[in-house]
Structure 1
Amino acid sequence: MTRGHASPGLAAPGSTAAGLSWVAIVRLGLVQAALGSIVVLTTSTLNRVMVVELSLAAMIPGLLVGLHYAVQIARPLWGHGSDVGGSRTGWILGGLALLALAGTGAAATTFLFESSFWLGFAAAFVCYALIGIGIGACGTSLLALLASRTAPARRPAAATIVWMMMIAGIVVTAIVTGQLLDPYSHARLVAITGATGALVFAIALVAVWRLERDAPALGAGEDRHERAATASPRAFRDSLAETWRDGEARLFTLFVFVSMLAYSTQDLILEPFGGLLFAMTPGETTQLSGVQHGGVLLGMALVGIVGTLVARRKPAILKLFIVAGCLGSAGALAALALSAAAAPAWPLKLNIFLLGLANGAFAVAAIGTMMALAGAGGGRREGIRMGVWGAAQAIAFGLGGFLGTVALDVARATTGDTALSFALVFSGEAVIFLASAAIALRIGGRPGTATDDAPVPLAPAE
């Protein structure tokens, strides 16, 4: 791989060689918040409605949510489209618009389920597939835009800002729509989902207006016509093959898959764990999620602040955070395994908070690193690379929650001991996180790996 350099002479009027300003980064964070706002309604609120109000088996929304992850295996294709097209903004807005429409359609399937299960399921199947396409097209292009236009020293903070704003969008939407949904009706759900989609799309439209034009890619010398001229029927296959031949990109794909598998496997079993072994009420176990997200936010903020302050002097800081976050997550899960034997005499909330803290640190550091590695191959390849890593993440998330519940059920059926079963599953997750840390140690150690202006932040410390 060759080292790229920013070219001030290519900057558009009003832009700087430093890439995106902090205001521009926050504007992209608003788009990520818009994504989170719609997704929480389709994967959380609608999930509850299907199980409680419609009395459907829990596996139905589980299959639909799994479907929206499954279709995102096509993220490399959408990322490549934004690479060779004239504008990533079009992909961002197009994907968000599709997500908003499909989310509203998914809410409307509640009426169909009332009259015919199979008609409702068929319509929901289509809507959730479109939801996955919308998330993938918008999210992949957003990350590619952020990666290609953010100065290396700002990447830790940029990743933190964008992801914290996404979480903020989820939280605000959950609180506001939760109040507006009562008294519940299918019509009210459809109206709120549609209004939310329209509102956040309008916000995103304003947020990205002229942003891409005014902040050209760092080190990008080719113009729009040159990029378009490189497209051909075989261009995607060639780009995908080129990305996969890059050992660094391939290794990072493995890291993303393994770490996200470990990250998501505990999602569906933490609340049952609190209820079965710590005698917590449904309200108390629900609060555990808030405690964990509080830790996640603090971990993200820590990476953003410290990473930005020392990134120029210590480019290996993101690697340090990734490895430390994976090891910390493994330690917190090992502690949860021990707590199964000590329950209820165990500081469970503190344990969950520390798990969230470690999760947040490694996750946002991984996103910052992803931004650095995305442009390391030279040329306009951020989209295809972000697509490959996004696909690995989506597959891992789809498998993680499912495998966690299956592992718990198998362990309980085999051992007949609930506490031991949870301990075994948490221990297994800890081992996966240890494997993630081992993989992370190898990232950035290959000759020739570079970013636009500086060594990849994952390069080994000197």
Structure 2
Amino acid sequence: MGFLRFWFKTIRLSIARIGAGWMFALLTFNFNRVSIADLGALAVVVTSLIGLHHFISFFQVYWGRFADRYALFGYRRTPYIFLSGMGASLIFLLLPSIAVGLGERSLAATFEALLLIGFFGVAMAMNGSASNALMAEVTTEKERGGVVAVVWAAIILSGIITAVVAGQMMPNYDPEAMQRLYNLTPAVVFITTFLGIIGMERRITPEEQATLLATQPDMSASPLSTFRIARNLMSSNPHVRAFFFFVLLAVMGIFLQDAILEPFGAEVFGMNQKETAAFQQSWGGGALLGIFLMGIISSYTSLSKKTIATLGGLMVAIGLLAVAGAGLTHQAALITPALLVIGLGVGFFDVGALSMMMDMTIEGQAGLYMGLWGMAQGLGTGFANILSGALHTGLIETGLLSEAMGYAVIFGFEAVAMLLAIGLLRSISIQEFKGLTRSDISAALAMDTAG
């Protein structure tokens, strides 16, 4: 019975993340490709807009702190996940027309995109913080590695499914087909969230709610103060600081290619929409295989989470260099194997690093710490998007380098970021991190209030 309960819980947690996977896939492999390669928008504008919502990720710490203290209808995670997911899904109804405006280089469309994607960022900060905290709270430390593997596999699989659906509904850019595709988003998010989270969380009693209000630190501070709180926490514990920057650099090392991979296929190899959509399937399939392989390997070996993450990061760096080589030699046949290597590395890395993220929390403050790691993820992805677009515009659109050479420089820069992250990872100890006690957190919050 325990085995069945574990898998039922794991499958439901996985279903709950499918809607988020759908939204991020549409935004980062379809919207960017259409705007840049099909409609002629400036790459730096599009990738900066896509990256914008990640820079609002400091809200993850705020929402984590807020939800730790304030339950809605007796639940600290479920209402926040549901409301934020549905709110984020609504912007996709407007994105097809925004893409046209960006292609026309309209200031009005750019401003509208800024507002919509900014709102998306605030909503997804709440969603990510609450989802990760729920996962940490309903799983044991022993279960966590397996749950993380399956949940992340579901997110990747949802990206692959999104690519397949997009490729079938819109093999070549068509504004009406794009609108029909994006109109599916609210329904996808509603159904998967409802099936995944309803009834998962235990409802707290009024007495427990009163205890939360009495014992948890006051959460009435402005969301902007979370930058200072993060700084205070990092200054008091070197392992918090090292893990934050490890996550930030590693995410850059994985996702700097995310907003430009499809334009790379279009500009260097002349591929159409359907062909570049297959990139998502290649690296996503590799990631799924990596997750399941590492799950099997972990069952029969004593590999540490740190070793697993290190191995995955090295594979990502090797795969990125192979993609760069494919562009320089104009060998399209090398792209798929290289993306599979990247995917395998991402799968290995995610099992190790995400499990470490959930271990790098303390009892009663899961929302706060998962929000902090989520902020590092968001900033890493945001920097990755902006840097990829800036490098594309500065190196390729200006004619400074050829398209193949420009992309090789970008992919090489990404590989270096991942190698730097691996170097930081080697200095981190989960056991020493646990030395950050509740009094240390109170001190960090008190420092913020005094500041």
Report the TM-score when normalising by structure 2: 0.78
Counterpart of 1:352 in structure 2 is 339
1:140-159 matches, cutoff 5 A: 140-159=129-148
TM-superposed deviation, 1:305: 3.3
Structural mapping, 1:391-402, within 5 Å: 391-402=375-386
Q: 1:170 to 1:328 in 2, by over 3 A?
A: closer
Aligned to 1:127: 116
Partners of 1:345 and 1:338 lie apart in 2 by 10
Does structure 1 conserve the Cα–Cα contact (< 8 Å) formed by 2:62 and 2:368? Answer: yes
For the structure 1 residues 353 and 171, does the alpha-carbon distance in structure 2 shift closer, same or farther, using more than 3 Å as the test? closer
Match of 1:433 among 400, 418, 433: 418
- 1:29 corresponds, among 14, 24, 27, to 14
Cα distance in 2, alignment partners of residues 134 and 325 from structure 1? 30
Q: Distance in 2 between matches of 1:113 and 1:388?
A: 33
**What is the CA distance between 1:448 and its match in structure 2?**
6.0
- The 2-side partners of 1:186 and 1:164 are apart by 31
Unaligned runs of 5+ in 1: 1-14, 217-221, 452-462
Contact 2:305 2:351 survives alignment (8 Å): no
Question: What letter is aligned with 1:371?
Answer: M
Taking a change above 3 Å as real, the CA distance of residues 21 and 128 of structure 1, as seen in their structure-2 partners, is same
Structure 2 unaligned residues grouped into runs of 5+: 437-451
Instruction: Report deviation, 1:325.
Output: 1.1
Name which of 208, 229, 237 aligns with 1:246: 237
Provide the C-alpha distance between the structure 1 equivalents of 2:40 and 2:285, rounded to a whole number of angstroms: 32
**1:248–1:446 contact (8 Å) kept in structure 2:** no
Correspondence 1:397-412 to 2 at 5 A: 397-407=381-391
Residue 292, structure 1, aligned to residue 283, structure 2: yes
RMSD: 4.0
Q: CA deviation at 1:27?
A: 0.9
C-alpha contact (below 8 Å) 1:76/1:387 kept by paired residues: yes
Q: Return the offset for 1:93.
A: 0.9
- 1:76 is paired with a residue of what secondary structure? helix
201, 204, 210: which is aligned to 1:225? 210
Summarize the Cα distance change of 1:434–1:66 in structure 2 as closer, same or farther, 3 Å threshold: closer
- Contact 2:265 2:276 survives alignment (8 Å): yes
Structure 2: distance between partners of 1:409 and 1:122: 20
Q: 1:253: how far off?
A: 0.6
Tell me the number of residue pairs that the alignment of Structure 1 and Structure 2 aligns. Answer: 422
Any idea what the Cα deviations from partners look like across 1:368-426, whole Å, max 9, x if unmatched? 1111112xx33x21111111111221121122133235446656779756665555444
> Cα distance 1:107–1:226, how it changes in 2: closer, same or farther (>3 A)?
farther
Q: CA deviation at 1:26?
A: 1.4
Residue 324 of structure 2 corresponds to residue 333 of structure 1: no
Q: TM-score, normalised by structure 1?
A: 0.77
Alpha-carbon displacement from aligned partner over 1:416-459 (angstroms, at most 9, x marks no partner):
566655554444333322211111111226536389xxxxxxxx
Taking the aligned partners of 2:267 and 2:104, their CA distance within structure 1 comes to 37
For 2:260 and 2:376, how far apart are their aligned partners in 1?
22
Q: Using the TM superposition, give the Cα deviation of residue 324 of structure 1 relative to its aligned residue in structure 2, in angstroms.
A: 0.9
1:176 to partner: Cα distance:
3.5
In the alignment, is residue 257 of structure 1 matched against residue 248 of structure 2?
Answer: yes
CA distance in 1: counterparts of 2:167 and 2:105, whole angstroms? 27
State the alpha-carbon separation in 2 of the partners of residues 175 and 289 from structure 1. Answer: 9
Are 1:366 and 2:357 an aligned pair?
A: no
Q: What SS class does the counterpart of residue 258 from structure 1 fall into? A: helix
- C-alpha spacing 1:389/1:52, structure 2 compared with 1 (3 Å): same
Residue 360 of structure 1: how far off its partner (Å): 2.1
- Measure the CA separation in 2 of the matches of 1:281 and 1:51: 14
